[in-house]
Amino acid sequence: MPHRWDEFFKMAGAAGATLIGLLFVAITVATSFSKSHGVIGSRGFLTPALVHFCGVLLLSLQMLAPWRSAFPAGIVLGIAGLAGVFYQIHLIHIQRKIDFASLDPYDRLFYAAVPAISYFGMIAGGIGLIAGESFAPYAIAATTTLLLFTGIYGAWDVTLWLVKNRQET
C-alpha cells in the first residue's frame, strides 16, 4: 500500500475504535429499559452501528498490516465484504419486524442501502487488491468512509431514541 494512504487508514481506524468505545456508553444508558424492549432495539439498530465501526477498524487494520503482497488483504476484505452483504440482508429482515421505531425513507437509505453499497465496495476493493488494480485503495477508502458515516448516523439515531424513551419511563 502506498505510504500516502497510511495517515487516512490510521485516522479512520482510530475513529472506528473510539466510536466502538462510545457505543458501550450508549449501552449503559439503555440498561434502564425492559429486557425485551432493549434487546430488540439493540439487535436492530445498536448492533449494526457496532458492526459498521468494526468494519472500519478491519479495513484500516488490513490496509496497514505489513503484508508481503496485497493478495491476503484482498482475500480478507472480499470475505468480510461478502459476510457484510449477508449480514445486511439479515438485518433488513430484523428491522422490518421491529414495531417500536418508524423509519422514513431517508432512514432506510442509511440503514439498508448505504451499508449494502459499502460492503459491495469492500468486495470490489478486495478484488482490486488481488488484481493489482489502481482503483483498489480508492474503493477501500470510500467504503471505509461510508461505513464510518453510516455507523455514526445509526449510533446518533439510537442515542436520540434512548434519550427520548428514557425520559418517558
On whether the CB atoms of residues 153 and 110 are closer than 8 A, the answer is: yes
pLDDT of residue 85: 96
| pLDDT of 162 above 80 | no
What single letter denotes the amino acid at residue 129? L
pLDDT of residue 102: 62
Q: To 10 degrees, the CA torsion angle through 156, 163, 44, 50?
A: 50
Higher-scoring residue by pLDDT: 134, 27: 134
pLDDT in tens, 3-62: 688 889 999 999 999 999 888 877 776 666 555 555 555 666 788 889 999 999 999 999
The domain segmentation of the chain, as residue ranges, is 3-168
**Whole-angstrom distance, CA of residue 5 vs CA of residue 22:** 26
Mean pLDDT of 133-141: 94
Confidence of residue 169 (pLDDT cuts 50, 70, 90): very low
On whether the CB atoms of residues 45 and 101 are closer than 8 A, the answer is: yes
pTM of the complete model: 0.83
pLDDT in tens, 40-53: 556 667 888 899 99
- Neighbour tally for 79: CB within 10 Å: 13
Task: Show Cβ contacts of residue 155 under 8 Å, excluding neighbours closer than 6 positions.
Answer: 19, 22, 23, 26, 46, 49
